Structure 1
Amino acid sequence: MVEGRPPKPTRRSTIADVAARAGVDRAVVSRLLNADPRLSIRDSTRQRVLDAIEELGYQPNAAARSLRTARTRTIALLVPDYINPAYGEIIEGAEAAAARVGCSLMTASLQSADDSFERYAERLGHGRVDGLLLAAGGVHGTPEDELERLGLPWLCVNRTGPGRRRYVVLDDERAAAVAVEHLVQLGHRGLAFISGPQDSDSARRRRIGHLKAIKAAGLARGPIVRGNYTPRGGAEAMAKILEAEQRPTAVLVANVASATGALHTARRMGVRVPQDISVIAVHDLTVAPYLDPPLTTVRMALDGLGARAVELLLERSANAEIRETVREPTELVIRESTAPPS
Structure 2
Amino acid sequence: MPDMRKPARPAKVTLNDVARLAGVDRSVVSRVVNDDPNLSVRPETRTRVQHVIDKLGYRPNAAARSLRTARAYVYGLFIPDFANPVYAEIIKGAEQAAGQLGYGLMTASSNGVRIGLRHYLDLLGQGRVDGLLFAGEESGHDLEQLRASKVPWVLVNRRTEGSHRYVILDDERGSQLAVDHLVSLGHQRIAHLAGPEGADTARRRRAGYSAAMAAAGLDVDPGHIAHADYTPAGGAAAMHELLSIPHPPTAVFVANVASAVGALHAVHARGLSVPRDVSVIAVHDMALASHLVPSLTTVRMPLEELGRRALELLAQRGPEETITEVVTDPVEVVVRESTGPPR
Q: State whether TM-score is above 0.5.
A: yes
CA distance in 2, matches of 1:220, 1:30: 60
CA distance in 1, matches of 2:308, 2:121: 22
Deviations 1:177-211 (A, max 9, x none): 11001001111000001100122111111011001
* Closer, same or farther: CA 250–114 of 1 in aligned 2, 3 Å: closer
The reply to whether residue 96 of structure 1 matches residue 96 of structure 2 is yes
Residue 131 of structure 2 corresponds to which residue in structure 1?
A: 131
CA distance in 1, matches of 2:229, 2:278: 21
Residue 108 of structure 1 corresponds to which residue in structure 2?
A: 108
* Closer, same or farther: CA 70–278 of 1 in aligned 2, 3 Å: farther
Residue 168 of structure 1 corresponds to which residue in structure 2?
A: 167
* Unmatched 5+ stretches in structure 1: 1-28, 32-56
**Structure 2 counterpart of 1:151, one-letter code:** K
Q: TM-score normalized by structure 1?
A: 0.79
Listed as ranges, the matches of 1:62-211 within 5 Å are: 71-137=71-137, 139-211=138-210
CA contact (8 A) 2:276 2:342 kept: yes
CA distance in 1, matches of 2:322, 2:274: 46
Residue 293 of structure 1 corresponds to which residue in structure 2?
A: 294
CA distance in 2, matches of 1:188, 1:274: 12
Equivalent residues, number: 286
CA distance in 2, matches of 1:178, 1:277: 18
Q: Considering only aligned residues, what root-mean-square deviation do their CA atoms show, in Å?
A: 2.5
Listed as ranges, the matches of 1:265-276 within 5 Å are: 265-276=266-277
CA contact (8 A) 2:255 2:282 kept: yes
Q: CA deviation at 1:30?
A: 7.3
CA distance in 2, matches of 1:174, 1:30: 42
The reply to whether residue 253 of structure 1 matches residue 254 of structure 2 is yes
Residue 226 of structure 2 corresponds to which residue in structure 1?
A: 225
* Unmatched 5+ stretches in structure 2: 1-34, 38-53
CA distance in 2, matches of 1:70, 1:173: 41
CA contact (8 A) 1:122 1:150 kept: no
Judging by fraction of residues, say which structure has more helix: 2
**Structure 2 counterpart of 1:275, one-letter code:** R
Q: CA deviation at 1:145?
A: 2.4
Three-state SS of the structure 2 residue aligned to 1:213 is helix
Residue 21 of structure 2 corresponds to which residue in structure 1?
A: none
Three-state SS of the structure 1 residue aligned to 2:149 is coil
Listed as ranges, the matches of 1:37-76 within 5 Å are: 71-76=71-76
CA contact (8 A) 2:110 2:136 kept: no
**Structure 1 counterpart of 2:251, one-letter code:** A
Q: CA deviation at 1:175?
A: 0.5
Residue 340 of structure 2 corresponds to which residue in structure 1?
A: 339
Q: CA deviation at 1:102?
A: 0.8
Q: CA deviation at 1:62?
A: 7.7
Q: CA deviation at 1:72?
A: 1.1
**Structure 2 counterpart of 1:283, one-letter code:** H
Three-state SS of the structure 2 residue aligned to 1:149 is helix
CA distance in 2, matches of 1:200, 1:70: 36
Residue 215 of structure 1 corresponds to which residue in structure 2?
A: 214
**Structure 1 counterpart of 2:235, one-letter code:** G
Deviations 1:132-163 (A, max 9, x none): 111142x2444532112223111110111211
**Structure 2 counterpart of 1:322, one-letter code:** I
Residue 239 of structure 1 corresponds to which residue in structure 2?
A: 240
- More deviation, 139-148/158-167: 139-148
Deviations 1:277-311 (A, max 9, x none): 10000000111000110000000011110000111
Three-state SS of the structure 1 residue aligned to 2:115 is coil
Q: CA deviation at 1:247?
A: 1.2
Q: CA deviation at 1:338?
A: 0.3
Q: CA deviation at 1:107?
A: 0.5
CA contact (8 A) 1:198 1:226 kept: yes
CA distance in 1, matches of 2:271, 2:139: 39
Listed as ranges, the matches of 1:5-24 within 5 Å are: none
CA contact (8 A) 1:211 1:221 kept: yes
Deviations 1:64-83 (A, max 9, x none): x9xxx761111000111111
* Closer, same or farther: CA 62–152 of 1 in aligned 2, 3 Å: farther
* Closer, same or farther: CA 97–271 of 1 in aligned 2, 3 Å: same
* Closer, same or farther: CA 174–188 of 1 in aligned 2, 3 Å: same
CA contact (8 A) 1:231 1:262 kept: yes
**Structure 2 counterpart of 1:126, one-letter code:** Q
Three-state SS of the structure 2 residue aligned to 1:113 is coil
CA distance in 2, matches of 1:325, 1:74: 25
CA contact (8 A) 1:194 1:234 kept: yes
Superposed structure 1 runs of 4+ greater than 6 Å apart: none
Listed as ranges, the matches of 1:303-342 within 5 Å are: 303-342=304-343
- More deviation, 164-173/143-152: 143-152
Q: TM-score normalized by structure 2?
A: 0.78
